[in-house]
Structure 1
Amino acid sequence: MESNCNIAAALPKLALESPERAAIRCPGRSGDYGESLSYAQLDARSDAIAAGLAGRGVARGSRCVVMVRPTPDFFLLMFALFKLGAVPVLIDPGIDKRALRQCLAQAQPSAFIGVPLALLAKALLGWAPMTTLRVTTGRVALLSDATLAQVEAAGRGAGPQLADTAPDDVAAILFTSGSTGVPKGVVYRHRHFVAQVEMLRSAFGIEAGGVDFPTFPPFALFDPALGLTSVIPDMDPIRPAKAKPRKLHAAITRFKADQLFGSPALMRVLAEYGEALPTLRRVTSAGAPVPPEIVQRMLELLPPEARFWTPYGATECLPVAVIEGRELLGLRARTETGAGTCVGHPVAGNTVRIIAIDDNAIADWDDALSVPKGEVGEIVVAGPSATDAYFGREDQTALAKIREPLPDGSERSVHRMGDLGWFDEDGRLWFCGRKSQRVTVDALTTLYTEQVEPVFNTHPALARTALVGVGPRGAQTAVLCFELKPGSGADPREIADELRHIADGFVHTAKVDVFLHYPKPFPVDIRHNAKIGREQLARWAAARMAAAGGG
């Protein structure tokens, strides 16, 4: 790999080849998409901001918190920091404020760059007191040392900025959503970003010149390196389930977007809106399994030649495997009878294996860890995009990473996904749920969420179900929480009886003892609005059962 390994290295070339082509289009205050950056502007202005930040002490390796909405400022800042070799720190703004404070303290940033509201919160709540530089995107330097406009003005005319970053240099710290625990800062090295770009390009056949509609803004950072135009949707990025489908559809149509990325919750919004999407050729949905009825409806709204991809991965390692929607639908019967959700074949470059389930740290790789094909175990991945550490969390790094020696004397990091799955006879990977959310009824019986819930999700009155365990691990009561479809007039007691009848039809679901109607929409993660908060539901179920005397 070349010594200068940097996701921003593609910008100068694109600015030279296609200076007027739009790199980023963003909705203005009135939603009219009046804010845009050409490749030439993105390159030149990020150079100026990089030089301006360098003049204020931001250097290679400096950690800089970025709390900026998906506007041109966000993309200018991120590419400026990449060019400097500085390390942007991204944290989901919707997480619990105590967790946010903890994440900031963990990252130990030297700079804090944010919207005025973020600077106000920093001052009032004492966020990241160790920072020595505060930059606001506001018009005046209130509660900050400078505005972003002042930083850019100071660096204008300094010329090209691109640090000679090495593959192992830290490129960014991206915090997990914390959907199953305290958020962790994933250390991304420059080689990880560069590898992701190439793996995405190869896996999905992406060619320069396309128009992408990424409804999860951080994914838009890949677009310039792929030679794409990003059209940022007019929506709250942390509430995709609340997006306005009319606005989404209008922007996709207006700019002739041929690519779309969104969570399953966002896909549901478009599927239920029901308007055809004739310009799209590639739709990608990730963050959680996509319900088959949503896959089916989206394929009906897309032109025949379009592809609906559901890649599997995590913040720590992406992409791992991928499957196209038509193949997924062809396996629907297996999913609905307890096989799990098929996530397809591993992406080229990845080594994906299944090891015996273990909640303890595993320091070194041993082939004896692997389980036979067809057996459910923990999914582990080694490959060019697999990260190797959490920042400042050596305990979590030890639990999630395994050192594997290679024949040439070097070693690589094997990432433990924290997910359970198995390989079928055709080499396809099946996802069975999170390891931490498995339900251990006794020494011989373990239930997996993605093998149990789809069996019950076939009931026409249900929006979704969630398997949770109540009691100590090894002696848990298997509880199925269920959510009725909006407006359903069904009697929850009758539905519970019907679910018991469904359970009796399969060996593994027969172990589900309790069926509880959850009277509100299930709690979901803040990032994709798609991962069910089973930990929260488990606490609710335990309280309900205790109040009812255990029944």
Structure 2
Amino acid sequence: MTTSGAGLYAQVAELARSRPDATALVPGRRNGSGQSISYARLSAGCHAVAEALRAAGVRRGHKAVTMTRGPYELVAVAYGLLAIGAVPVLLEPGMPGARLRACLDDVAPEVFVGEPLAHMGLRALRWAPGHVRTPLVTRRALLPGLGRRLPVAVPDVGGPALEAPEPDPEDLAIIAFTSGSTGVPKGAEYRCGTLAGQVDALRPVLAPDPGGVLLSGFLPIALLGPALGLTTLCPAVNHLAPARTPPERVLRPLLAHRASVVAASPAVLGLLAGHCAHHGLTLPSVDRVLAFGAPLRARLADTLHSVLRPDAQVLSVYGATECLPVSAVTTRELHALRNDADMPHRGTCVGRVVPGVEVRVLEADATGVGEIAVAGRNVSPAYHARPQATADTKIAADCGLLHRTGDLGRLDDQGRLWFHGRTSQRVIGAACVLNTEDIETAADTAPGVRRSALVGVGPAGQQRAVLCAELDGTAHRGRDRRTARAALREVLDRHPQGHHIGSVLIHPRFPTDIRHNSKIDRERLAAWAAKRVRETT
């Protein structure tokens, strides 16, 4: 297999030559079934899309917004664009319209590739007005005049691979927008070298075996899986609301293709593990489970292990759009740390830094907690068309370009990285400064509590600390809510900073980010908490 420096498309093309009949991709259908696509057919499909893009006038350096939820369409279009030197632009389709328009204004794309519905939004909502010169529609449109049809059907047979030149590591390859769950969405630039660094950093985390089968619960991993030589299953996850996906859509392809690695958000893993536990099912083929997008909580980890083989590994992977991955930790190590009485109330361990990545902790306080900054080939060097954001977050250092993540953390004496929450989400009161993860890791141990969230009510410097809790599926009656609130108070009474918590509130279901349905939308939750606090005072 080629080295990752040869580019994603070149790797798939070589695999098509060396393993033409091996399954590269299995896009899932809503009933849980899927179509197996060989490396030969995937490479031929990418070749056909690249030639169609050229015929439509797409050229090297053109920025092409790619808005399609079909896994094969996404892979074929993205690889086809990369093969001709154009730049796929990936953003969240469920993003609010105003934010989406702002993102497109930043990019000023020459090309817009998407489903008919996306093109209708482009027209009706005037996204990127005056920029898009080449609209390309990936499926048959009900309305005429939306754009030129781009053929993205899976070819019946393989064909010659497109001869793509070796990319320059500094060439712009992809613009991937952050979800906006912790701030304004920004377009992280991936150079060709950045993509190569991501593939290299993911290898030890995924630990791919020859002939391994990866079930990908979110689309970015689906883009990298085929290039890693993995049969990549893409179940029909509801990417606008992953936590609402019927679990059978994920379970059926996993069992049918005997997935060895599962990579998904805690929300998708939760629905899969919960369904299996409820129905007495197990996942005997799975060797490794990777949780991306948010910390993996103890209750979900325990449920996952209950449906896996005793020797299967579950890892929580830490990273961000700008630097993925950074570190990883097994749940067995987390379990040992939870039982270590000498290390209470210290945030969440996110493990040891992956090879090729370096972490620095900036402006640390007396406890060693400061802002996490990351350097490595997998780190995005800039935000597209956002020079001030780039200047605020990128620092030249002896280890290379450091990216300031906005996350609080520390490194312990064994080289493990600990996450303490977002810098912007600290609760700053008149007599205290509270890091969210320090409180929540303790509160999550209270009986009946599914997860907790610390928010501040009022202006910074005078904030009132409010702990919100979401209960598990069995605890929603009034008596259960009172019992859970009392249990939370007991936990807080034992916590050295628990006396700073002014209120404990029970929330029916936390608002979450649109990408993973796992990160808590603390801004919305704080607004809800402020209203509840006013009503009770």
TM-score of the superposed pair, with normalisation by structure 2: 0.92
- Structure 1 residue 247: deviation in Å? 3.1
* Distance in 1 of aligned mates of 2:150 and 2:340: 54
Q: Which runs of 5+ in 2 are unaligned?
A: none
CA distance in 2, matches of 1:252, 1:541: 40
Partner of 1:133: 134
Matched, 1:294 2:281: no
* Superposition deviation, residue 61 in structure 1: 1.2
Give 1:40 shift.
0.9
User: Runs of 5+ in structure 1 lacking a partner?
Assistant: 357-369, 407-411
What letter corresponds to residue 446 of structure 2 in structure 1? H
Give the aligned length: 525
Q: Is the 8 A contact 2:5 2:196 kept in 1?
A: no
Question: Which of residues 517, 520, 527 in structure 1 aligns to 2:506?
Answer: 517
Q: Kindly state the Cα deviation for residue 217 of structure 1 after the two structures are TM-superposed.
A: 1.4
Is the 8 Å Cα contact of residues 207 and 226 (structure 1) preserved in structure 2? no
User: CA 1:285–1:498 in 2, change beyond 3 Å: closer, same or farther?
Assistant: closer
Aligned runs of 1:37-52 on 2, under 5 Å?
37-52=37-52
**Could you tell me whether the CA contact under 8 Å between 2:261 and 2:288 is conserved in 1?**
yes
Q: Is 1:278 equivalent to 2:284 in the alignment?
A: yes
Residue 16 (structure 1) aligns with: 17
Shift of 1:128: 1.8
Write out aligned runs for 1:489-504 (5 A). 489-491=477-479, 492=481, 495-504=484-493
- How far residue 469 of structure 1 moved from its aligned partner, in angstroms, is 1.0
The equivalent residue for 1:394 is: 387
Matched residues in 2 for 1:179 and 1:384: separation? 25
Deviation (angstroms), 1:144: 3.1
Structure 2 SS opposite 1:323: strand
- Secondary structure of 1:311's counterpart equals strand
Summarize the Cα distance change of 1:460–1:371 in structure 2 as closer, same or farther, 3 Å threshold.
closer
2:83, 2:328 → 1: CA distance? 31
Inter-partner Cα distance in structure 1 for 2:487 and 2:41: 61
* Greater Cα shift, 326-335 or 475-484: 326-335
- 1:328-339 matches, within 5 Å, as 328-333=334-339, 337-339=344-346
Quote the residue 1:415 is aligned against.
Answer: 403
Aligned equivalents of 2:152, 2:92: Cα separation in 1:
27
Give the deviation of 1:493 after TM superposition: 5.2
Aligned equivalent of 2:325? 319
Q: 2:357 is matched with which residue: 333, 342, 350?
A: 350
Report the AA paired with residue 399 of structure 1: D
Looking at structure 2, the residues matched to 509 and 150 of structure 1 have their Cα atoms a distance apart, in angstroms, of 56
- Alpha carbons of structure 1 residues 37 and 3: separation in structure 2 relative to 1, 3 Å: closer
> 1:327: Cα distance to partner?
0.9
**Is the 1:70–1:217 contact (alpha carbons within 8 Å) kept by the matching residues of 2?**
no
Distance of 2:9 and 2:458 partners within structure 1: 50
- Aligned partner of 1:366 in structure 2 is none
1:432 counterpart letter in structure 2: H
Residue 182 of structure 1 corresponds to which residue in structure 2? 184
Distance in 2 (CA, whole Å) between partners of 1:180 and 1:198 is 27
Deviations 1:46-79 (A, max 9, x none): 1121122122221111100001113322211111
3-state SS, counterpart of residue 331 of structure 1: helix
Amino acid in the other structure paired with 1:434: R
Aligned 8 A contact 1:431 1:450 in 2: yes
Alpha carbons 1:186, 1:315 under 8 Å: kept: yes
Distance 1:150 1:380 in 2: 40
SS in 1 for 2:36: strand
Summarize the Cα distance change of 1:4–1:337 in structure 2 as closer, same or farther, 3 Å threshold. Answer: closer
Q: Distance in 1 between matches of 2:492 and 2:72?
A: 52
| 1:419-438 aligned within 5 A | 419-438=407-426
- Which residue number in structure 1 is paired with residue 268 of structure 2? 266
Asked whether the equivalents of residues 3 and 166 of structure 1 are also in contact (C-alpha less than 8 Å), the reply is: no
Q: Is 2:240 the partner of 1:238?
A: yes
3-state secondary structure, aligned to 1:221: helix
Contact 1:433 1:449 in 2 (8 A): yes
Change (3 A) 1:29 1:457: closer
TM-score (norm 1): 0.90
In the TM superposition, residue 207 of structure 1 has moved relative to its aligned partner by 2.8
Matches within 5 A, 1:79-90: 79-90=79-90
Alpha-carbon separation, structure 2, partners of 1:94 and 1:121: 12
Percent identical residues: 39
Write the deviation string for residues 154-185 of structure 1: whole angstroms up to 9, x where unpaired. Answer: xx999624143200111101111110122111
Residue identity opposite 2:137 in structure 1: T
CA deviation vs aligned residue, 1:71-113 (integer Å, no higher than 9, x gap): 3222111110111111101111111111111111111100001
CA shift, 1:460, in A, is: 1.3
Alignment root-mean-square deviation, CA: 2.4
